[in-house]
Amino acid sequence: MIHRIEVQVTTPLNPTERRERVETAITNLFPTAEVEERHGELLAEAHSLERLAERLHEQNIVDTAREVFRRDLGGDTFAFDLKKQAAHEGVVNFAVGNPDELGDLHVRVRVVKPDAEAFIDHLAPRSDADG
């Protein structure tokens, strides 16, 4: 099954932050992302979540990811937030509740093919514990 997705990552670029560090936070988890600065934020676009999927498995948080992805699923799109500092270290840490004072990475995924539910099943497969 060939998946076609459009990934958009946005995050504030605060005056106290170095652009390179914030860009690294994005590219550590989305290495193919094209990053640009726009109106005090960084905007990145990519067409793959391969590295993110690898980290989910390495960190053994696939079930958590699946829950998070499904929480904000609507039509062909799902979205989630990641902690910027953790991402800078190449670690997936979902941001829930209040945003970090420097802001989080907001990730929006639009699934062109096949559909969002099937893509989430591919990205974060149901574990045996889910039944």
CB 108 within 8 A of CB 79: yes
- Which residues, listed in sequence order, are joined to residue 76 by a DSSP beta bridge? none
Annotate 31-78 with DSSP letters as a single string.
TT-EEEEETTEEEEEES--HHHHHHHHHTT-HHHHHHHHHHTEETTEE
How many distinct helices (H) and strands (E) make up the chain?
Answer: 5, 6
List of domains in the chain? 4-125 (3.30.1440.10)
Q: Taking the complete model, does pTM exceed 0.95, yes or no?
A: no
Q: What is the pLDDT of residues 7-53, one digit of tens each?
A: 999 999 999 999 999 999 999 999 999 999 999 999 999 999 999 99
- Which residues, listed in sequence order, are joined to residue 8 by a DSSP beta bridge? 45, 108
